[in-house]
Chains A and B, each alone.
Chain A
Amino acid sequence: MPAGLDNLRHLVVLMMENRSFDHMLGSLKAVDPRIDGITNQLSNPDSTGTLVAPQPLAEFQGQLDPEPDTHFPAVDLQIFGGNTHPNRLANMQGFVKSYFNQNGDVRHSQKIMYYFKQHNLPVLTTLALQFAVFNRWFASIPGPTVCNHAFAHYGTSFGNVGMNPLRVNELVKSVYERLTHAGPRHTAKLYFYDKTSSALGTTRLLRNQPELFGTFQQFLGDCDTGCLPNYSFVSPNYNDHDSGSGWEVANDQHPDHNVQAGEIFIASVYNAIKNSPLWPNTALLIVYDEHGGIYDHVVPPACTPDQFTASAEDTGTGMPFAFDRLGVRVPVILVSPWIPKGTVVDRVFDHASIPATVTRFFLGNYSPRSPRETSADVFIEPIIAPVDPNRNLLSLDAMRTDCPDFDV
């Protein structure tokens, strides 16, 4: 059995908000051509028909106000460029048009094509180059936050394509319930930042099972004492607020929150794990819930339909949706001292891969699960011999000692 998998006891998922792959990591194409980022061949027409190329002019805050639209009809426009024909093809040509629809300002709408220079995001770009970066990880739905978060927790959104509360089907359990009710019993926890920033999309679990929840301070303590659960989901701070012991800046990177604050948060999570006794036994997945309406050039692929269909009224596009196409591509990085430096993964994933991986790794075969989750690829191989060396990302025979540190 590969040593990395043999040692793995803990999986931590950190889910950030609303930024696309090209926006955050597109600059890395110039550093490593295997990373599918920005090239000089890319553009989008603005509302006057002028082609707008991506430019490395993204700023940390103040540039994406109003926040770009990520509701289903807006993302449909972004992906299909405004084509509503039944046999249409996705072309990723509607991002500038979509942002123009929000403010009617041609120049401002072009900012949706901006991306960050590598040195502006020292944490995210370093981790991407040092560990495994995913070229083809897509949001689960071409829609907003709540339905995409649902896929990370349940492997389905129960037919939801928007921001409405989930109508949870009791047959499909959350990944936390699966683990904590399994025999032999496993442990799982959702760490939200603090009580003013509870984990979005999981409030039903909060309502019914508050014991599953902890705060970020508890996460840091659990790392420190080597008491992390088998599975942890970490949420950032979604709002600026007074915590009682001082002011806290939102660090979820949701437009128009400060991106540097999010960099510090990501580094804090990484440092907490790296400096803990659990570093040899833990893998950290950093993932964004959806693209935030910001430009990405990769066409989302078709996928296995879920058992639900959203009506034409629910989608707002005049067309039903069978959950048979993924959303826009997002930045995703897998961190572990057992991953070779500079790993680039080309297989297709979406957020249903999170419960799929956690369930397969810790519980083996489990049902019932949604069709989307059952067909989703896993990013950590289950410990069932023989492990395919071409799929196993934790492939080193010995732990790395050259992993970076961040001064936060």
Chain B
Amino acid sequence: MTLIHVPRPPQSALNPDRPINALLKAQIELFHKYEKRLPIQHHTRIYVSTIKTEGEAAEYIRAVTEAIHTVHAEAEAPRAKPPAPKRRRVIEFAAVADEEAERKSASKAKKEKSTAKAASSRKT
């Protein structure tokens, strides 16, 4: 088995201020189209016409990529929730509670009405 040495590039290879090439320019245009389809709160607020360097391009692409992932994750979250408890039981309880309250309220109103009527008849 042969171990082959691979030389590393010099420090000078790094230049985030290098003007963007045709490939990155096309990528920014593509991402800008897709950014416009995102919900407005996920827009980057980066004006793409001002992107001139590789470092700036990278920052914009990162922002849109993260936004795309976030929007999909947010849409997926409700679907991934565990099943809700049976609503029927809750409705039954609620309905019974409501009915009881209604019954009490109606009976109270009836009682007050009859008391008022009796008082009124006593006055007359």
CB atoms of B22 and A163 under 8 A apart: yes
CA distance A67 to B69 in the complex (A): 32
- Interface segment, one of B25-33, B40-48, B89-97: B25-33
B1-41 contacts to A, CB under 8 A, are 1-9, 13-16, 18, 20-27, 29-31, 33-34, 37
Tell me whether A75 is interfacial, beta carbon within 8 Å. no
Q: Whole-angstrom distance from the CB of B48 to the nearest CB of chain A? A: 14
Q: Determine if A404 and B5 form an interchain contact, defined as CB atoms under 8 angstroms apart.
A: no
**Interface contact A239-B1, CB-CB below 8 Å:** no
Contacting pair B68 A210 (CB below 8 A)? yes
Q: Mark A255-268, 1 if CB is under 8 A from B, else 0.
A: 11010110110010
Q: Is the interface of B mostly helix, strand, loop or mixed?
A: helix
Q: Interface residue tally of chain B, by bracket?
A: 35 or more
B14 lies within 8 A of A404 (CB): no
Of the candidates B22, B31, B61, the one whose C-beta lies within 8 Å of that of A67 is B22
Given A123-B4, A241-B55, A405-B3: A200 in contact with B23 (beta carbons within 8 A): yes
B20 CB to closest chain A CB, in angstroms?
8
- Tell me what chain A mostly uses at the interface: helix, strand, loop, or mixed: loop
Kindly list chain B residues whose C-beta atoms are within 8 Å of the C-beta of A144.
Answer: 22-23
Contacts A196-B65, A239-B20, A405-B4 known; 15 new A-B pairs at CB < 8 A = A122-B5, A122-B6, A144-B23, A146-B26, A200-B30, A238-B24, A239-B61, A241-B54, A249-B9, A260-B9, A261-B9, A264-B9, A267-B6, A403-B1, A407-B5
A-B contacts, 15 listed (Cβ < 8 Å): A122-B5, A163-B26, A195-B62, A195-B65, A198-B61, A203-B30, A206-B34, A238-B27, A239-B20, A240-B58, A241-B62, A254-B21, A260-B8, A263-B6, A405-B3
In the A-B complex, the 4 residue pairs with the smallest Cβ-Cβ separation, listed nearest first, are: A241-B58, A196-B58, A258-B13, A163-B26
Listed in ascending order, the chain A residues whose CB lies under 8 Å from chain B are 17-18, 60-61, 67, 70, 122-123, 126, 144-146, 163, 165, 194-198, 200, 203-204, 206-207, 210-211, 238-242, 247, 249-250, 254-256, 258, 260-261, 263-264, 267, 401-408
